[in-house]
Structure 1
Amino acid sequence: MNLISAAPWDGWDLPGYALPSAGTVLGALVLVAWMFKEESGKGRRKPNDELNRAIERVVGGVVRGIGRFLAGRDLVGEPRTTATWWRSGVPVGTGDSSVADLTVSSSPRWPKRRMRRDAVHWLGTPLRMLISVGRGLAAWSRWPHAARSLVRLGLPAAAWGLWLHPDETRPVLIGAGAVAVLVVLTGPGGLEWWEPRKATDDELYGPGVWAAVRQVLRLDENAPRKKRLSIDADLSAEGARIVLLLPLEWMGGKDAMAALQHVIDTRIPGEWAARWERAGAKPYVEWTRKPAPTAKPVLPGYVQWKSTGNRFEVFVGKAIEGDRIVDVMVQTQSATPHWGVGGDTGSGKSTVLYIPVVHARQHGELIDILDTKQNSLIEAEGASGVRIHKTVRSCVAAFAEFMVSMMAAEAAMGKGAPPGARAQLVPRTLVIDELPTLIKLAYVWWRYGIKGKGTPPFLDWFSIILLQGRSSDHRIVVGTQQFANSFFGGTMERAQIGSKFIVGLQDRISWGVAFGQSTPVIQYDTTVKGRGAFADKRQAPDADHLYVREFQPAYITPMVATLLADCPPAPDWFDAGQMAPWITDEALTEADLVAGVRAFLPGGAYGPSAPTVTPTAAPGTVPHQPSSAHVTSPPVTSGTAPHVTTAQAAAGTTEDDALPPTYSLAEACAQGIVPWQHSTARQYKKRSEEKGVPFPEGIPDGRTTHYTEEELRDWVKRWKSVVPSKS
């Protein structure tokens, strides 16, 4: 039988010798490979081993090449794109491609925009179609493998079909061409009915991330990425993840973990939070996108004051807590019923002090205001239930009377109090504006005005009121430049100021004094009138220090006069400047024994000769006259304390509260009172005691000690007499 003539390919019109000759060549190659096969046994190689391996490489390369050709893959080298069988890819290993270029063909995506129909668009369509076709052909390596395989097999098949069966093949080719024309016509270069698929985030960022991750994990260069690194196709989608499977043998210290985090931070846009799972058979790290930071709320520049309807809850303004704006309430029934506001002169702290005045009066409380500035709370003057004291002597007297009232009220609430004593009690609030100034002036008045000896009792009164005032409904609100211990008598007393507010710009020292040295300074806009910060004994949610919040106080000033005029009238004894009727002889005697108050009350040795209160105005009017104007009514006495009277003052007389000016050492040097530079004067001050020349005691204000001109000149004279050569 003739094998050649009976071969199955006879009907294919090929030369009769073609396939048999190819089979002969292939058989010869197999025979040669067998002849040069490596011998086993002693591990030695024959001299023809190199040729044997070369033949194996050639045959293996041919087989792999045929497989790559049929599978639509690159014939040689590593893959140049991330294309798969059904999916187009993006270039890998290059850094010069832009995102706009990574748009190789794949599934159609119907556009959202409407088709344009202008003449320019139609005239340019053929050119755009040609350009689109050229770009598509140029991106051959990024085609899906199935498409490339179809083209590779389709061209020889088409040629073979035209050769053997031209009539049947032509309609197929015409149909395929029509489909191709339709694709080009409706594509981006034509009618724009569909667009090429954009590169996924996995394709776009995966190769670069994997190249860096491999080095950190010390993986082989040929380690497959898909088995260890997973990047979601759309990293902007909610819940997008990046997952990296860690090798079991990877030690992964802090530096290595930080290196992986650095790879994600630098090679993938956005901020990503890592979650490490190192235990178990499959350790991994998962990154999820950090939530977008919540926009910080902004406080309004103006806050309308409102009444709470609760005597023990004062609305002061609004503050930022986390990501929300909340009302700021001072709880005066708490364990720290007193509160205060700090700030430099002109910061607006006096304006904030109107709030407790109005709130307390609306709930029937009586207000005493100590205002040595004499015009800070002028809108409240003349209102029933509000007594404003402006001279040092009257302020000290009001201070003393308030403390006696507190002690007497405490006794009136006891079980052994006379019947009806409790019914007389009225809650009271003492508002002190410019506390440091008041204390300084009180000390100057004590030492230089009335020539007092020893330590004055003013701070002791303050301490007692702070510690005991809540139980007897006697509360204090202070305005101060700084919350220093020296103003309050000590740390324990200052701690009773439960809610501390500061307004305006504060230096770091004042901030630390108010809220603690460990409390970080928060930034707020000091250009906004009244803007500041506050703390109310709450601890910060995530730290061991006070919870300080940005704060905007309510602005109540324009409404003060009207709101106070609408309040219920105060008892007659209060508006007349008399002491509280519940101050009995026994209570006064006890208070005098404890704190030495009798001499400072009206009619006492150091007290004012007459009540110094502003006459109550008619409803709806507020007379803006100095509160030091004397009441020209008949002499009045306290209801049950005949030992202390408020005698009538002669019309037109004034209290003799003229006090000598005081200077700090630096100010005295600058004005020539001390004839040396400040640094020199400080050195002489330190050496004074050693030389037997005592330096004046002075009047401290919490920051600086002040002296009179007479004291400083006397010290300079004594120093020069002892150390003449140094002066």
Structure 2
Amino acid sequence: MRYTAAAPWDGWDLPGYALPSGGSLLLALLVVAYAFNGKGSRSASNEELNRGIERAVSGAVRTVGRYVGGRDLTGEPRSTATWWRSGVPADDEGASVQDVAAVPRPRAPAPPVKTRLASGPAAPLRLLGGTVASMGRALAVWSRWPRAARAFVRLAPLPLVWGLWRHPGETRLVVAGAAVAVLVAAFTGPGGLALWRPRPPNDDDILGPAVWAAARQVFRLDEKEPRATWLRIDPDLSADGSRIVLRLPLKWLGSKDAVTALQHVIDTRVPGEWVAQWERSGSRPHAQWTRKPPPAMKPELPDYVAWKPTGDRFKVFLGQAVEGDRIVDVYVHTQSATPHWGVGGNTGSGKSTVLYIPVVHARQHGELIDILDTKQNSLAEADGASGIRIHKTVRSCVCAFAEFMVSMMAAETANGKSGNPGLRAQLVSRTLVVDELPTLIKLAYVWWRYGIKGKGAPPFLEWFAIILLQGRSSNHRIVVGTQQFANTYFGGTMERSQIGTKILVGTQDRISWGVAFGQSTPVIPYDGMVKGRGAFADMVQEPGTDHLYVREFQPAYITPDVARLLAACPPAPAWFDSGQAAPWITEADIKEADLVAGVGAFLPGGKYSTTAAVTQGTAVGGSVPPGRSGSVTGPAAASNVTGGVTTAGTPADTSEDDALPRVYSLAEACEEGVLPWKHSTARQYKRRSEERGIPFPEGVPDGRTTCYTRAELEDWAERWKTAMKRTSGE
């Protein structure tokens, strides 16, 4: 068979001939396909070529998909934007190492519309500039646009070109309208008239990425895990009921360290305080954090509280205190197991002012008041009122103390089953108010040691202890004003515990606080500059603790009304106002009290009293009838007055106290030059003198500190100096 030559283009229709022919092209495609399918040579170069082509194709497809989907074309997402929502900048490792100076300054808030419209003739130019600038800022944050908006902008050229080709007129109108809409939006937006603002990023946008990045590491989850599947943060975490919910992986062991780490993530990346609730045993294990409720606002006590009567003789209104989140009235219940109460504070803190409250309350219910006031003027508003005796000298205070104790014991006897009904009918409740207890004890010791040359320990504290332990059943109560509630002032711990209600007023040191309320009781803050402001406790323990429940306290201010209120009280029995002893005291009661507590020498007719023997109706040592501030005067002074004290206001009123020597503690003696040494040196010499048989003065204790007279200290100092010279001469 013979073949003839064909035209060059004929080969395109027949396979298998020249290279440009269809057969040659098909053969080339088969070879390429064979190579790509791996059926040819398995050389390393072919495999690398295959992988390169695959990467190129997949990269192209991914790039096209990102372009159409509105995503960033390369790298990690630069913001947290979603399809329909704008976002905030995503966590960028590169940005975290930039210089601090690159951190932008916060922008000042945009002024309101009226301010911009009324800002002068240059307002149009400023509005135009702000509009253009806002458009530039919008383009600068392109990566934070919603993906739908970015996809629309990227694909817009295709329909735009098609429209200009097929429908140019209509397309130009659409483009012009779109441009006008953009200008109007920019002009009325934040950079122009500020008639609208874009939605600001919420808490989920800002905090979510940081919380999830750290929580994912705790769970050891893959970086591609979507945050929305695991973490939910409410848009506004400041709203009531806002919460953070984190799903827990089923395979997560959740050790103590891991739980602590997760809690640390929330504490360090979310502002505020959050309380965790863990649910790990159910079908949906999760952790939920809710905002810790803010502490209740502490109510503020008023600076002034008006006193008010209660109508109950055993219920004394003291003032107001803070209990939890409310202010409550405070009362002393004197019929309780702790009928006595006291107020402590430094000089000038207002404790004497508080002592007016029991005086007025007791008188309104017919009780009789004895006030021991060595300061002689601390309760001046009550001086001269019926039913109130104020004792101002040491002798009169001690003798009144003795009479009060005998009255208590006699009332106890009269109340007994075998008591005298006639005496029982005369019983009247009594209250002993002791102002400046430590000062009284110190002066009483000095009077005992140097005034009457008493030997051994004086019995005063024993009387005090007996009254504290037995006074309630006979309606004989004590109210104390003191600098400190130390055991030594009350005779011991058991006796001090009878002071059931304790009040501290003014600024207090930690030692005084612990003495009053217990060392384990935390100090509560209060403003010591407010007159009378302090703390109050009434034997109630704070729930869940082993210490007293101490409340901030403001006592009632009754001082301006004291004279008026006392004048309106019913008059006291004549025997009391005339300075006589209680009519229910019998000779047998006196003998019993003297046997038990050695009180007879301090009663009228006793060794330390200048009055006649006590009978029913005789006077009490140092008692004061109404209108006087010393002892009874006139012709009766020889028979019913103790201590030889004369008319009120005369120098003889305090002559006995003035005759008592001044005493010094060792520290005070060194400080004031009585001893020529420092306190530390004097203590060392005191110890050495006792070791060498050189007697040191006995002195007088005031319950806490031993004090000495100037003569005693100077005499010892001379003896010590002489002994030192003799020793050095040898």
Superposition pairs of residues 403-414 of structure 1, within 5 angstroms: 403-414=405-416
Whole-angstrom CA distance in 2 between matches of 1:216 and 1:30: 53
Whole-angstrom CA distance in 2 between matches of 1:30 and 1:330: 109
Mark the CA change 1:647 to 1:245 in structure 2 (over 3 Å): closer, same or farther.
Answer: closer
Superposition pairs of residues 466-505 of structure 1, within 5 angstroms: 466-505=468-507
Q: Mean alpha-carbon deviation: is it higher for 264-273 or for 436-445?
A: 264-273
Whole-angstrom CA distance in 1 between matches of 2:728 and 2:253: 73
1:322 matches 2:324: yes
Superposition deviation, residue 172 in structure 1? 5.0
1:665 matches 2:666: yes
Q: Mean alpha-carbon deviation: is it higher for 438-447 or for 46-55?
A: 46-55
Of residues 362, 371, 374 in structure 1, which corresponds to 2:373? 371
Whole-angstrom CA distance in 1 between matches of 2:54 and 2:311: 97
Instruction: Check the 8 A contact 2:580/2:623 in 1, yes or no.
Output: no
Superposition deviation, residue 545 in structure 1? 1.8
Mark the CA change 1:175 to 1:505 in structure 2 (over 3 Å): closer, same or farther.
Answer: closer
- Secondary structure of the residue aligned to 1:669 is helix
Superposition deviation, residue 289 in structure 1? 2.4
Whole-angstrom CA distance in 1 between matches of 2:243 and 2:284: 17
Q: Mean alpha-carbon deviation: is it higher for 168-177 or for 147-156?
A: 168-177
1:614 matches 2:612: no
Superposition deviation, residue 117 in structure 1? 5.4
Whole-angstrom CA distance in 2 between matches of 1:338 and 1:180: 85
2:225 maps to what in 1?
Answer: 223
1:299 matches 2:301: yes
Whole-angstrom CA distance in 1 between matches of 2:439 and 2:74: 90
1:199 maps to what in 2?
Answer: 201
Mark the CA change 1:560 to 1:597 in structure 2 (over 3 Å): closer, same or farther.
Answer: same
- Secondary structure of the residue aligned to 1:129 is helix
Of residues 479, 500, 510 in structure 1, which corresponds to 2:512? 510
Whole-angstrom CA distance in 1 between matches of 2:642 and 2:464: 27
Q: Mean alpha-carbon deviation: is it higher for 70-79 or for 575-584?
A: 70-79
1:63 maps to what in 2?
Answer: 61
2:85 maps to what in 1?
Answer: 87
- Secondary structure of the residue aligned to 1:328 is strand
| 1:209-266 deviation digits (Å, cap 9, x = unpaired) | 3333344444443333222222211122211222233445555566554544444344
Superposition deviation, residue 725 in structure 1? 2.1
1:576 maps to what in 2?
Answer: 578
Letter aligned with residue 470 of structure 1: R
Q: Mean alpha-carbon deviation: is it higher for 139-148 or for 648-657?
A: 648-657
Superposition pairs of residues 231-630 of structure 1, within 5 angstroms: 231-248=233-250, 250=252, 256-280=258-282, 282-541=284-543, 543-607=545-609, 609=611, 611=620, 612-617=622-627, 627-630=629-632
Mark the CA change 1:50 to 1:484 in structure 2 (over 3 Å): closer, same or farther.
Answer: same
Q: Mean alpha-carbon deviation: is it higher for 506-515 or for 351-360?
A: 506-515
Q: Mean alpha-carbon deviation: is it higher for 553-562 or for 212-221?
A: 212-221
1:143 matches 2:141: no
1:132 maps to what in 2?
Answer: 134
| 1:152-183 deviation digits (Å, cap 9, x = unpaired) | 22321221232244466555555555554554
Instruction: Check the 8 A contact 1:115/1:192 in 2, yes or no.
Output: no
- Secondary structure of the residue aligned to 1:35 is helix
Superposition deviation, residue 346 in structure 1? 2.0
2:696 maps to what in 1?
Answer: 695
Instruction: Check the 8 A contact 2:113/2:194 in 1, yes or no.
Output: no
Q: Mean alpha-carbon deviation: is it higher for 230-239 or for 250-259?
A: 250-259
Instruction: Check the 8 A contact 1:338/1:499 in 2, yes or no.
Output: yes
Letter aligned with residue 333 of structure 2: Q
Whole-angstrom CA distance in 1 between matches of 2:715 and 2:472: 47
| 1:372-406 deviation digits (Å, cap 9, x = unpaired) | 11111111110000001111111111111111111
| 1:552-611 deviation digits (Å, cap 9, x = unpaired) | 222222211111111110000111111111112222222222112111112211135364
| 1:253-283 deviation digits (Å, cap 9, x = unpaired) | 6655454444434433333333344555654
1:78 maps to what in 2?
Answer: 76
Mark the CA change 1:146 to 1:486 in structure 2 (over 3 Å): closer, same or farther.
Answer: same
Q: Mean alpha-carbon deviation: is it higher for 545-554 or for 435-444?
A: 545-554
- Secondary structure of the residue aligned to 2:156 is helix
* Runs of at least 5 residues in structure 1 that lack an aligned partner in the other structure: 1-24, 104-110, 618-624, 638-644
Q: Mean alpha-carbon deviation: is it higher for 555-564 or for 467-476?
A: 555-564
Instruction: Check the 8 A contact 1:33/1:52 in 2, yes or no.
Output: no
- Secondary structure of the residue aligned to 1:522 is coil
- Secondary structure of the residue aligned to 2:583 is coil
* Runs of at least 5 residues in structure 2 that lack an aligned partner in the other structure: 1-24, 96-101, 612-618
Whole-angstrom CA distance in 2 between matches of 1:235 and 1:404: 72
Mark the CA change 1:137 to 1:647 in structure 2 (over 3 Å): closer, same or farther.
Answer: closer
Mark the CA change 1:324 to 1:600 in structure 2 (over 3 Å): closer, same or farther.
Answer: same
Give the length in aligned residue pairs: 677
Superposition deviation, residue 482 in structure 1? 1.1
Instruction: Check the 8 A contact 1:347/1:529 in 2, yes or no.
Output: yes
Superposition deviation, residue 76 in structure 1? 2.1
Mark the CA change 1:113 to 1:408 in structure 2 (over 3 Å): closer, same or farther.
Answer: farther
- TM-score relative to the length of structure 1: 0.84
Superposition deviation, residue 34 in structure 1? 6.6
More helix by share: 2
Mark the CA change 1:384 to 1:30 in structure 2 (over 3 Å): closer, same or farther.
Answer: farther
Give the % identical residues: 66
Superposition deviation, residue 428 in structure 1? 0.6
